[in-house]
Copies of this chain bind each other. A is one copy, B any other.
Amino acid sequence: MEDQISKISDAANRMRISSIEQTAKANSGHPTSSCSAAEIVATLFFSEMRYSGHACPILYAAWEEAGLLTREQVLTLRKLNSDIEGHPTPRLSFIDVATGSLGQGLSCAAGMAYTGKYIDNASYRVYCLLGDSESAEGSVWEAAAFASYYKLDNLVTIVDVNRLGQSRETMIGHDLFTYAKRFEAFGFNSIIVDGHDVADLLKAFDEARKVTGQPTAIIARTLKGKGIEGVEDKDNCHGKPVTLDKAEIIASKLGNNTTKNSWELENLIDDAPQVDFEIGKIKMSSPPNYQIGEKVATRLAYGNALVKLADTSKRIIALDGDVSNSTFSDKVLNKYPQQFVQCFIAEQNMVGVAVGMSCRGRTIPHASTFAVFFTRAADQIRMGAISFANVKFAGSHAGVSIGEDGPSQMGLEDLALFRAVPNSIVLYPSDAVSTEYATELAANYKGITFTRTGRPNTPVIYPNDEKFEIGKCKVIRQTNEDKYLLIGAGVTLYECIKAHDILSSEGIQVAVIDLFSVKPLDNQTLIEQAKRVGGKVLTVEDHYQTGGIGEAVSLALGDVPNVRVRSLCVKGF
């Protein structure tokens, strides 16, 4: 035990030195936060193992100590073309979720722990290193409430209370007791420790492993820049590299013992089962079953499709933010309660949990709420994309078509939000048949998808065996005399059809496209049809102008000669 403690303490100091060297070499980065967390990370790595966390030089240093990264690799920190970035991302094999936007780690960790406890029924435990400054983010408390409600005793968060934020002291400084009180009020077991005392840390991790029925928060008192002379516990040193000679002072503490340990890391017990799905081959248990002309809300069709996916895999999971009776994800709750996760009214955490549940391909999370409420979790969605997360989003109650609930409940920016996500897919089906296929297509795409559904009942226009593809629209009305091209989606498609019928009765022929795939756009068909009708295109959408269908189509057709695009969209409240 004594031997283990001194080995870990020495490792912590070597990691400190490495962090200082990485950031000095890069002339950029966060050595001070790395030094406050050195013993915590060393104890986790060389006794407990597994983690989640921007004090990343210390993380890279730990992997160096463990032998996965070389000194040469870690010294490429923050260089162009290096995967050793200033804030870690899953470009690195040992990173599951990206960090750098604060206060999101605990939600992801809770999603992983939920999966471990309830889906994998496996023994793995999840550790989340949290900065004290970032605990001001409300998302941390959403995650804490979730973790205790679901009794996630396989989850441990370690709060690195180093007192100092970027610009000044945090709200509660070194008041460890208040941190403990907050976590206890949110249902955690809490343990206060000296975060630079390896023995204290080992004892706390040991206690946490024995606690049942609740997660544990280890509140660790640390000093920012610990070990760096003239920097330790000093304000205004955040994100500032120091000179290499500071490393020597730390090295002197180690005596001659500056050579790396050879660690005998314990073998992982991997008792998580194989997953029961293969992306690309996921099928609904039965095809859509509607009558042409039957009026069905697309949100209802989404619920139907989700159940038919859940029929085929125990790892199709529905996540809800207390509106499952509106989005119809409650169909999964009713048939497969173990495949439904109620996240209550905390959309940020719902998205973070979904990102965590998707890690390592353990599940395919489908998170749904009103389209507009994803705006609340915009930053989590952004970070989910940087994490290469495989999460399916579905937003109901899109646009002003929801009516009397008022502007606060209308999704009018959701297409922009999800189009802006790199590598995302955005589908906007107009009837029940296309909605079911959209849901199936989304489940088979690895990455972030968004499916927009509507509140009102709209007629079924496609036969049950129609084929839909990501990146393909449907030309639903065309003649050889078409003078205009109308492009709609969702409720506006029906308005385009009405316009077509009226104009047709007046002898004016127009083509109508059901856009279906908002991202990627079916540029080829759009260009062909625009040219075919003589270049006059009108987009009609239930969304604001910014980042919506009109702008997307305008840019796509922007460089096509003799094509002109006009847009009808929502202009104000």
- A residues sitting closer than 8 Å to B (CB atoms) are 26, 28, 78-80, 85-87, 89, 98-103, 133-134, 136-142, 145, 149, 165-168, 170-171, 178, 181-182, 184-186, 236, 320, 322-326, 330, 342, 344-349, 372-373, 375-376, 378-379, 382-383, 386, 404-409, 412-413, 416-417, 419-420, 422-423, 544-547, 550-552, 554-555, 557-562, 564-567, 571-573
Contact = CB atoms under 8 A, between A and B. Distances in A.
Contacts of A557: 558
17 contacts: A78-B405, A85-B407, A89-B408, A100-B405, A133-B344, A137-B347, A145-B171, A372-B382, A373-B379, A378-B417, A413-B420, A420-B547, A422-B571, A545-B555, A550-B555, A550-B558, A561-B562
A345 B565 contact: no
Contacts of A552: 546, 551
Contact of A564 (B85, B373, B561): B561
B142 A138 contact: yes
A344 B551 contact: no
A167 B559 contact: no
A573 to B, nearest CB: 6
A449 to B, nearest CB: 15
Contacts of A133: 322, 344-345
A428 B372 CA distance: 27
B551 A409 contact: no
Nearest to A140: B138
Number of copies: 2
A320 B567 contact: no
Contact of A567 (B87, B166, B171, B558): B558
Given A138-B141, A166-B323, A422-B544, A28 B554 contact: no
A167 B420 contact: no
A406 B100 contact: yes
Nearest to A54: B408
Given A167-B324, A547-B416, A567-B555, A375 B373 contact: no
A170 B149 CA distance: 10
Contacts of A236: 325
Given A149-B171, A375-B382, A555-B567, 12 more contacts: A86-B409, A87-B405, A87-B408, A99-B408, A100-B405, A100-B406, A101-B373, A137-B142, A378-B379, A378-B417, A386-B408, A551-B554
Contact of A573 (B165, B325, B386, B554): B386
A98 B330 contact: no
Nearest to A545: B555
Contacts of A98: 407-408
A151 B566 CA distance: 54
A456 B383 CA distance: 24
B138 A137 contact: yes
A192 to B, nearest CB: 15
A385 B279 CA distance: 41
A506 B378 CA distance: 46
Contacts of A170: 344
A153 B165 CA distance: 26
B545 A546 contact: no
A321 to B, nearest CB: 9
Contacts of A320: 167
B546 A420 contact: yes
A26 B171 CA distance: 47
A137 B420 contact: no
A322 B558 contact: no
Contact of A382 (B413, B559, B562): B413
B416 A101 contact: no
B85 A406 contact: yes
A26 B383 CA distance: 41
Contact of A166 (B184, B322, B346, B545): B322
Contact of A404 (B26, B142, B181): B26
A127 to B, nearest CB: 21
B408 A167 contact: no
Given A138-B138, A555-B545, A408 B100 contact: yes
A79 B171 CA distance: 46
B376 A165 contact: no
B564 A559 contact: yes
A566 B101 CA distance: 32
B103 A345 contact: yes
Contacts of A551: 547, 551-552, 554-555
Contacts of A178: 185
B168 A322 contact: yes
A137 B572 contact: no
Given A551-B551, A551-B555, A555-B545, A345 B102 contact: yes
